[in-house]
Amino acid sequence: MATMDVYGFAHEDLRAARQAIESALSIRLEEAEESDGCGYYFRWATLSDPWVQIRSNSGPCLRRGGNPPQPWHPAYGVLVFVHGPAQESVAERLKHDVPGLSFLERKETM
């Protein structure tokens, strides 16, 4: 079964998180609008590399259910998701090269 690694920044600065991830991975993330129009996030995806997404964990774009919706990891204002082929190589660079980024969990995906 495939997995997804979840990381978090304690701050809520989505653009600062983008700069840190881009620098560590030597990639350029693109800005994308949330499907429900409530904000934006950053993503990077190729066919042969892992996919990386940076999303806010506060405000109207919360992914976690409930009434009202709750943050997934409340102590972290920005979440980073890594999944797809060769995600271990990205995980190593993130762990060593991104100050303030914490590994939170590995989840199974479909």
Q: Is 107 contained in some domain? A: no
Q: Is 108 contained in some domain? A: no
pLDDT: which is higher, 7 or 95: 7
pLDDT number for residue 59: 67
CA torsion through residues 62, 63, 67, 72, sign: negative
Distances (CA, A) of 16 to 1, 45, 54, 67, 86: 32, 20, 11, 30, 25
pLDDT: which is higher, 5 or 45: 5
Mean pLDDT of all residues belonging to the chain: 84
- Report how many domains make up the chain: 1
CATH number at residue 27: 3.30.160
Q: Is 18 contained in some domain? A: yes
Q: Is 55 contained in some domain? A: yes
Q: Which domain holds residue 60?
A: 3-102
pTM: 0.85
pLDDT tens for 19-59 read: 999 999 999 999 998 777 678 899 998 767 788 999 998 76
Q: Is 85 contained in some domain? A: yes
pLDDT surpassing 70 at residue 61: no
